[in-house]
Structure 1
Amino acid sequence: MSRNLELHLKECEACSGTTAEWAELMGAEDLAVPFHESDVFGQELFRSRDMDGQQLGSTQPAGTEPAIRGAVQDQAPNDGPMPPDRLRRRLMRAAYIRSFRSKVRIRKHAAFQAISGALLILLIAGLFTLKGNDVQTQAAFEHTVSQRIADMQSDDTERYVIQPVEPFYGSGSVWLKRGSGEMLIVVNGLHSLQETDYQVWLQDEERLSSAGFMLVQGPQGKSYYYGVGAENAKRIVVSMEPKGGSRSPTGPEAVLVNMGP
């Protein structure tokens, strides 16, 4: 039978063309002449070509091949060869899989675009929220400082101007009430450092003592200190100390104010 098929394909241009076309569609490199007995696809191909119900096989009597070839050649030009049922199902399944994969890719792309858009919206909203929180915090700090300054205004309040000290260049004022010992320090332009505190020191005629820490708002903004116990202070020093402070001044002086004679 394999020999008959091989001879038929060599002599029949229509069958050879159809075989090559199906081989290209199926991507099968081995779907070409010569056929072998194990090539079920080739057998099914020529079963489908038998328009009169005749079967090609090793049991056919000699001389039947020319009759079959004549029947094939007598077909109308528009009667295209139809693949067997099994081959047709394979072709339809392959087309369905390609269509399904294409739809999946489109849906994945649309989902990715939707997720990206949502993340962008959330990012923008988060930035506006953070900016709004920073503005509110800064406004609250400014309000507190203004209120402290207003509370320190009285006839017995002493005010001293803070001169900028290199390399910090912080400027501001000190308000001191000798009677109650209240003191307010407001400085503009001090840098907020992560591992550093601005520690306030009060010096009188006998000793130098720590009074607390400046509250600094923003990387280079307004800072202030409010406390009591400065009745006898002759000098104010604000030094940069390690986080948590020191027992005595160890860092450079950011603010220096003389208040005594």
Structure 2
Amino acid sequence: MRIRQTADTQERLSGRCPAGWTETDWADEALGNLTGAKRAHMLAHLPDCAVCVRNRETWISIASSRPAGARSTGAAPDAAQEPARIGSPLHMRLRRHVAQLARRRAGRRKLAAGTAAACCLVLLLAWSLHRALPAREPIDAYIDRHEPAAAAVMHDPAATSYRVPPQLGGSGDAYVWINGGSGELLLLIEGWPAYSEQDYQVWAVSGREYANMGVLKQARGRAHLYVKSDLLGEADRIALSVEPKGGSTSPTSLRSIFAKLP
């Protein structure tokens, strides 16, 4: 019994599961995204790990506020990976909760000799870089310069617009303007990783069908796409993926589901 208490204490202090199960695993289990052998192994492991018990209880509590019918059924592999709609209270709560936990744990891991000096150096470099870089061009001016044909949809009262905060585990913002009546789409991202051998590709999604809308054009730390297509009138959401240079005929690495179309 003394050995078991010592192990539990070590687990609680470290905040990590000795078997390697993460909070992401328990979040997927609580949201119904796991089936088969992996879920069975995780549940069998619970009696031996206080960390996993606590993580599972936390995510079950969060998932309990999810609307009826929103829990994944596992019927389609790509559907199980799609995040909640960006504006939903659950998705916002998940982002805030994961970000808070990440900040706390990063702070604990980095408490060591020399941390204060390293932080000062980083702040100094960031300040120097900020002084050296010109002010970011306003989005309106950027579109006028790089995609003038898209300026109309930005200011069209019939268009629906979204500002998408950073996705779970990601960084940067995205902006979407959609006019289903005219079949126009403008998507702009900033602060996202830039790839030399890959492109961001946009898809209009209808059920399980992904229609290629094109790849984003990169310019001055941003990337954008403006397109007119009748397929937008049939789509129910917009997706973004990272593809080999030049794009793919179907998505190979789905990155984000941005928004449901009105």
- Is TM (by shorter chain) over 0.5? no
Larger Rg: 1
